[in-house]
Amino acid sequence: MNVLAPGAIIGILGGGQLGRMLSLAAARLGFTCHIYCPDADGPAANVSAYQTVGDYLDLEKIKLFAQSCDVVTYEFENVPAQTAAACAQFAPLRPGARALEVAQDRLTEKTFLQDKAAINVVPFADIANVYDLDRACKRLGFPAILKTRRLGYDGKGQVKIGSDSEIKQAYEALAGAPAILEQFAPFRREVSIVAARNEQGEFAAYPLIENVHRNHILYSSTCPAPDNNAPDNTSSNQPSHIASEMTRAIMDALDYVGVMATEFFEMDDGRLIVNEIAPRVHNSGHFSQNAGCCDQFELHIRAIAGWPLGDTQPRHVSVMTNLIGAEAADWQQLASHKNAHLHLYGKDGARAGRKMGHINVVGAPLPKSGD
């Protein structure tokens, strides 16, 4: 592949906070970013050199955008398939369209993970109608989670079913959308691995991250995950190593280039079951910005530009906490905390459930490998 030199233009599909932080990281390495987004005043446009405002299905604008870029990436996984295909005709698209295809449909994703990457997932069933749902509930048992196959995040587009009497109501709640039923996983905690892979197959991963959700929205991420504070990922019986190897298998199967997050359920017996993948930089990786290592945004830029991947071993225990809605209004108090690093996204109009920023609190130093 051609390694991009400083001065190259990196196109980013999407203008939210992830695009903003990607653009800032790219600027540190001497790159210029071009944002494509329907919103003229999104967080990313405020820190990027160029912006095209247009609908994602305006393929003529997409063509012109891609032609202006040396590589194109994306900050969200619901980029329309037509948009990805159009970009790929005129510039390298990293990660590729296959990652989008897999991640955009929960049934495709579960099938791929199970059949192509040989990864453990919860038992699942394709649901086309209420009769499918009734039969699947009998096979998978209760409780079970009914989810739309496409779209839905932060708890949207899913319903928990606890008994036969709830089947019809649950199906109607999704308004007939194509769906997947998943057996409920009685997990101990939710964890994730954020990792990068470049076109040469080089791989780098942060240690295991523990995630806490409130109202289906990520509240905090801690890295390394508590009770997993090994200074590296090399011990084969470490959950961090196991999760990292599973993530690597998925990325290799996708021929993935860039940063990807893999979310896991950790069961009481220590088993790890993949919940879903996110083909992009991820909220649970924000801790890396102040952990004393290469942050996930620079890591992604390095991967898609063909550069060597950076150091992913944090020097400190770090806790990221999202600032939701009005919580960001306390920025003065938040900024005064010792060992705290405040990141605000420049969004107008705080509202319930909207991520307005995050704060990283750096804790005790971690031992170095071999100490």
234, amino acid identity: T
Whether residue 32 contacts residue 10, with contact meaning beta carbons closer than 8 Å, is answered with yes
Tell me which of 187-201, 221-235, 322-336 is least confident. Answer: 221-235
Q: Residue 247 — φ and ψ, nearest 5°?
A: -65, -40
For 164, the token pair is 């036969």
- Give the contacts of 194 (CB within 8 A, at least 6 positions apart): 205, 206, 209, 259, 260, 261, 281, 282, 284, 285, 288, 296
Beta-strand relationship, 124-127 and 71-74: unpaired
CA gap 362, 320 in Å, rounded = 9
Model pLDDT for residues 320-369, shown as the tens digit of each residue = 999 999 999 999 999 998 899 999 999 988 888 899 999 999 997 887 65
For residue 242, the SS3 value is helix
Nearest to 368 by CA among 316, 318, 320, 319: 316
Q: What's the N-to-C CA distance of the chain in angstroms?
A: 38
Model pLDDT for residues 84-143, shown as the tens digit of each residue = 999 999 999 999 999 999 999 999 999 999 999 999 999 999 999 999 999 999 999 999
The pLDDT of residue 122 is 95
Model pLDDT for residues 292-322, shown as the tens digit of each residue = 999 999 999 999 999 999 999 999 999 999 9
The pLDDT of residue 333 is 92
The pLDDT of residue 308 is 96
Instruction: Say how far residue 77 (Cα) sits from the centre of its chain.
Output: 8
Q: pLDDT tier at 42 (50, 70, 90 boundaries)?
A: very high
CA gap 96, 80 in Å, rounded = 13
The pLDDT of residue 367 is 77
Percent of the chain residues topping a pLDDT of 90 = 87
For 309, the token pair is 């991947």
CA gap 357, 355 in Å, rounded = 6
Q: pLDDT tier at 2 (50, 70, 90 boundaries)?
A: confident
Q: Which one of 1.20.210.10, 3.40.1190.10, 3.30.1490.20, 3.20.20.100 gives the CATH number of domain 123-183?
A: 3.30.1490.20
Beta-strand relationship, 50-53 and 32-37: parallel
pLDDT at residue 154 is higher than 70: no
Helix, strand, coil percent values for the chain (each to nearest 5): 30, 30, 40
Q: pLDDT tier at 170 (50, 70, 90 boundaries)?
A: very high
For 22, the token pair is 């990607």
Whether residue 160 contacts residue 145, with contact meaning beta carbons closer than 8 Å, is answered with yes
The pLDDT of residue 216 is 86
Whether residue 6 contacts residue 29, with contact meaning beta carbons closer than 8 Å, is answered with yes
Neighbours of 300 (CB within 10 A): 30
The pLDDT of residue 318 is 97
The pLDDT of residue 353 is 87
What are the b/e assignments for 76-106, b being 16+ CB within 10 Å? bbebbeebbebbeebbbbbbbeebbbbbbbb
pLDDT at residue 229 is higher than 50: no
Q: Residue 275 — φ and ψ, nearest 5°?
A: -90, -55
Model pLDDT for residues 181-192, shown as the tens digit of each residue = 999 999 999 999
**E strand segments, 62-157:** 71-74, 124-127, 144-148
Arithmetic mean of pLDDT over the chain = 93
Nearest to 6 by CA among 21, 28, 34: 28
CA gap 7, 70 in Å, rounded = 10
State the greatest distance between any 2 C-alpha atoms of the chain, in Å, as a whole number.
Answer: 61
Tell me which of 144-148, 154-158, 228-232, 362-366 is least confident. Answer: 228-232
Same fold, 9-93 and 123-183: no
H-helix or E-strand spanning residue 35? strand 32-37
Query: What is the dotted CATH code of the domain comprising 9-93?
Result: 3.40.50.20
Nearest to 145 by CA among 118, 172, 167: 167
The pLDDT of residue 26 is 98
Instruction: Give the mean pLDDT of 261-289.
Output: 96
Q: pLDDT tier at 231 (50, 70, 90 boundaries)?
A: very low
For 296, the token pair is 């996930």
Instruction: Give the mean pLDDT of 160-169.
Output: 96
Q: Residue 307 — φ and ψ, nearest 5°?
A: -80, 165
Tell me which of 145-154, 189-198, 222-231, 234-243 is least confident. Answer: 222-231
The pLDDT of residue 157 is 85
The pLDDT of residue 337 is 87
The reply to whether CATH 3.30.9.10 applies to domain 187-365 is: no
- Give the contacts of 227 (CB within 8 A, at least 6 positions apart): none
The pLDDT of residue 352 is 84
Residue-range domain boundaries for the chain:
9-93, 123-183, 187-365
